[in-house]
Structure 1
Amino acid sequence: MQIRMAPGVRYGPGLKATPYREFERRVRRYPRTALLRRCAATSAALEQVWAERQPSLHMSVQPWSLAGVARTCLAAGTEDRTANVSDNTVASLCSQFVNVGDPDVAVGLGIERVITKMAFEQFASQYSVMENLARSGALLLDHADGVPGAPRAQDWIDLLGVDLEQYLRLGFAAFVAMVENGGSVSRELLLDKRVAPAFAPVAPAEALAVLDRHFVAPLDRLRGQARDAEASGREKWSWNPLSATPLVKIGGDLVAPAAHLILDKITTTGLYYTAAPAWGSRFTDALGTMFERYVGTQLRLLTQAVLHPEIVYGPNGEKGCDYLLIFDEVVLLVEVKTLRPTVLVRTGQDDGEAELTKRIGHARDQLIRTAQLVRERHPAFAAIPDDRPTVGLIVTLEPFHLHQTGRAEQLLISAELAVGAAWAHDLEGTVAVLAEVEDAGARLLRVLGASDPWRRHLREAADGLPDAANPILDTAYERWSAMPQDAVQQAWDSDSASAHGRGVVPDSGF
């Protein structure tokens, strides 16, 4: 993972960063809808460049910087401006957004908070999209059977308007529509029978109704949400309403100023924020059990190990960690948490530090307690050997970027047990590569047993080995994306798309 800083940004003495209000004034120079449309065209072009594995010509033009420009435009922009909006306008504003200063540095609170914010702001767009999309079906459908409170097929239909897998297809189709049409598509086009295959088997009118319900919001509503959520002094990192409704209704068009946020809506994160308000603790409790099962399924790909599920011990039904894997070289203890970083954690605030310590610290303590029980030869753990090293791993549903933000030493260092942390994406990729590797246990011991907590990156256990597809994710992805993806794109390559698409992909090489 890499953190990008604009040229000229300095943190410390001689700070040259741009104040947020100055950046806001620069955004306000341009008419709101024209700037949003140009952001959308740039975003569409950027997605095409990334799909072809070509580097962006403008370092600052990134999915997260485009989203930041669009959020400020929504919150502060007006229509009564006459300045021309060009590709260079967007590139310049993205660079200025990257250059916005951090108030925590100005008052001497340190670089770690800056890195924390940048990590949560930037890293999400650096992960492979396929795995994040496939996880939605693999987790929420394939591991729901028998889980108390887990949503059933009809529950999803009642909530979404279609079944979950069709919802995923519609979200993906909407993303392709925006990318293939310069970030803006007319409602007339979406209802055109010539592009109906993109939504099949759902009729275009039904598909548009689902999009309107979950993906679309008018300008005025987004403006109010952006303003209401803006935190004084931390405007740059304030919640972006486009993450909830990434398509903006402008006249007869739907516009996607940050196209990647459409896909985010159909990841487990996006679905969580759709389902949790509707179903409350029933869903969140079930999600914990589903994710625990899901992690167990992933761990079973490591055929070199004997996998033991959670062990119950003691008079009150106390439980050890969720999984114990016995390799010839090491015993790996795994604790699973459906944790997601709150805004306090993502912005490195003091309350966030306390919350992080509580959430991750509890999982760490559970691993340490389990290791103690193994060492003490508790009868319930008799099948777990104590003649080899033991290491611990916390697996979370969402990333916490602990190692990259300097929190590893505080949270993971322990004289009793070496503990690492990883999120679902890291686990999925690592077990896929190590599935048939003879020295998988030795590799995991080397990485997770490192004396320096900063070096316990799970993915490094697969260093030097060829990439491998995760069969669990592949199966889930192929099922919900049963329609060939080229069929979706062909719908937008038709003459109707050329005739009705309102956006124009910029030719500046973004």
Structure 2
Amino acid sequence: MIKKAPHEFFYSEFTSFVRRFNQEAMLVAVTQRALSLPRNFGIDNRGDSALRATPPWALAAVAKAAIVHGNAHRRAVPRERDLVTARHMHNTLVAPELDVPALNSAFAILARLAFEQFPYYERGLPELARPVAFFDDHSGRKSLEVISKESMRELVGADMVTAAGIVLMLATGAEINDGYFNPGWLDQINFAELLAELPREEILAVVNSLFAWDMDQFRREDAEASVRTPLPHLDRYAFNPLTSRPFVRLSDGRLIAPIPQLIPRRLTPLELYYAGIKRWGTAFTRDLGELLEDYVGRQFQTLPDATVHSEVVYMQKRQELKSIDWFVVFDDLVVLIEAKATRSPLAARAADVSARKAYTQTLGDAFKQLGRTLGILNKNAPEFAHIPKDRPVIGIVATLDPWYIANSLARDFLPTASLPTLVASVGDLEKLVAIGQRRSVSEILTHITQAGDERQTWDLGAAIHEFGEPTDRNPLLQQAFARLPFGHTQPDQAA
């Protein structure tokens, strides 16, 4: 029997407290509280009282409990102090996983906290512009099996540029309309100007395809996720359907976004991953791998002081092999880049017993590929004659989503790197390239990977934070954002 301290709560007690209140009233209260948080919360405003009292990940847990466990027949309306109480209960939940040896390592504990909290710090221009730059601007260097502009239109409900404009409308509208979007508003005369840019049928198609479910649909998705990925002892870290559909369809037909911070993320390649697999299976993941490789290469090609070379096909013992995906050559450094589009699975994000295997299979394979390429490069194979051998070499594993703590505690079960190696999400690479428009990326990477510098154990975004300036802009994201409807209105977050 699991025991608890007097100040702790079981997860069932937390959900029981939330379900005391009227379901829709609780969602309204959560939304209002979420909208009161700093728009771009982060290191600089962690001391904000509202953020400390009700951080967005706790509010997301409250909203999930209301949707999955609540009902519309309760009369009690939550007050502000009730949300603070719910957050306190969530923060002091019994942690049964700590009594399970396979779940209580330092790696597992920190990985869970990172995946629970860090995604809510990702906001701004990248998440709005990335889908267009990623899907629409593929260079065509390799053919794709199922992904095209037409197939993506079928998947999301509109072409990617229009869909991104709709996401911008939904995100902005949620902020100024208390989290609501009412499809009936589209009949009002004051929406005529908006409909001239964003057709009504495409707004509704995108909303219905990607953004909104009713209560019953949320409950079914939650139940199905529990069957697909059972997480014994880890209820707190289980799938939250709001990450799949940020809007809840209320009984009167209006939509409400309990956690508006989730809206921009929904159209990103990361969040379309499972929708694409459901539609096209593994062919979609293969295409996504090519799109990620292509996108990473195009990002580094914007650097003014770098020359970028694609993968090399070479012979070894009469066998044809391929190198890593990209070689980025600076005057004083060579960077080897291997891209991996496999998304970190829910079980790995919850750090269950399979987490180490997920890290090893995805990141471990990339580490080995970096090592093989470095080995053949050092042997002066003729196929690599165009890659300089007279300067230091650094490796980067570029991933579709963040694999938190991959540069620190996860290294214990990854292959020993034969060169300084960083794991970096595509979002962090976008930030690095933005800085690289005015300051050499080779200088930055050399700094943070030098022996004894603890920054090489951080996420790349945190490691390069001190090198950034508010005016830094990522060229590919800027170009993509400029094509969106209303793209002349820049969001407040630099890219």
Matched, 1:67 2:60: yes
Shift of 1:16: 4.9
The amino acid that maps onto 1:90 is: L
Residue in 2 that maps onto 1:474: 478
Distance 1:238 1:149, change over 3 A: same
The question of 1:401 aligning with 2:404 is answered: yes
Instruction: Work out which of the residue numbers 4, 28, 38 in structure 2 matches 1:37.
Output: 28
TM-fit CA distance, 1:50: 5.5
Residue 353 (structure 1) aligned to one of 353, 356, 369: 356
Cα drift, residue 226 of structure 1:
2.4
TM-score when normalising by structure 2: 0.87
Residue type of the alignment partner of 1:336: A
Contact preservation (8 Å) 2:54, 2:87: yes
After alignment, is 96-105 or 346-355 more displaced?
A: 96-105
Give the drift of 1:67. Answer: 1.2
Following superposition, the deviation at residue 121 of structure 1 comes to 1.1
Partner Cα separation in structure 2 for residue 418 and residue 239 of structure 1: 34
The yes-or-no answer on 1:107 pairing with 2:100 is yes
Deviates more, 1:264-273 or 1:196-205: 196-205
Cα-to-partner distance string for 1:260-301 (whole Å, 9 max, x where unaligned): 222221222222333332222332212211211111111123
Q: Where do 1:312-331 residues align within 5 Å? A: 312-314=313-315, 315-331=318-334
| Equivalent residues in 2 for 1:8-157, closer than 5 Å | 16-46=7-37, 55-108=48-101, 109-143=104-138, 145=140, 147-149=143-145, 151-157=147-153
Report deviation, 1:310. 0.7
Question: How many angstroms apart in 2 are the aligned matches of 1:125 and 1:185?
Answer: 21
CA distance in 2, matches of 1:286, 1:406: 31
Per the alignment, residue 158 of structure 1 pairs with: 154
Residue 422 (structure 1) aligned to one of 410, 421, 424 = 424
- Do 1:29 and 1:81's aligned partners in 2 also have CA atoms closer than 8 Å? yes
Measure, in 2, the Cα distance between the counterparts of 1:293 and 1:365: 21
Cα gap change, 1:14/1:411 in structure 2, threshold over 3 Å: closer, same or farther?
A: farther
Query: Cα distance, 1:14 vs. partner?
Result: 6.9
Residue correspondence of structure 1 range 272-421 to structure 2 within 5 A: 272-314=273-315, 315-403=318-406, 406-411=409-414, 413-414=416-417, 416-421=418-423
Flag the 1:81–1:461 CA change in 2: closer, same or farther, 3 A.
closer
> How much has 1:138 moved relative to structure 2?
0.4
Consecutive unaligned residues in structure 2, runs of 5 or more:
none
One-letter amino acid of the counterpart of residue 356, structure 2: E
Contact 1:60 1:98 in 2 (8 A): no
Indicate the SS of the match to 1:317: strand
Query: Contact 2:302/2:475 (CA < 8 Å) preserved in 1?
Result: no
- Contact 1:324 1:331 survives alignment (8 Å): yes
Report % sequence identity: 26
Query: Contact conserved, 1:27 with 1:73, CA < 8 A, in 2?
Result: yes
Q: CA RMSD in A?
A: 2.8
Which of 188, 191, 202 is matched with 2:184 structurally?
Answer: 188
Per-residue CA deviations over 1:343-401 (Å, capped at 9, x if unaligned) read 12111122121121111010000000111112122222223233332221111111101
Q: Distance in 2 between matches of 1:150 and 1:474?
A: 27
| Change in 2 beyond 3 A, CA 1:203/1:301 | closer
Q: Among 212, 215, 239, which residue is 1:216 paired with?
A: 212
1:27-78 Cα offsets, whole Å, 9 max, x none, are 1221212111211222233365859x97452414222221111111112112
Which string of whole-angstrom CA distances, capped at 9 and with x for unpartnered residues, describes residues 437-490 of structure 1? 35x424322323546787244443573453411111111112124455499xxx
Aligned residues: 473
Which of 435, 438, 444 is residue 437 of structure 2 equivalent to?
Answer: 435
Higher alpha-carbon deviation: 80-89 or 253-262? 80-89
Paired residues of 1:344 and 1:352 also in contact (CA < 8 A):
yes
Structure 1 unaligned segments of length 5 or more: list them.
Answer: 1-12, 488-510
Displacement after TM superposition at 1:191 (Å): 3.1
Kept in 1: contact 2:24–2:72 (CA 8 A): yes
Q: Give 2:248's aligned residue.
A: 248
Q: CA deviation at 1:155?
A: 2.1
- Which of 166-175 and 149-158 deviates more? 149-158
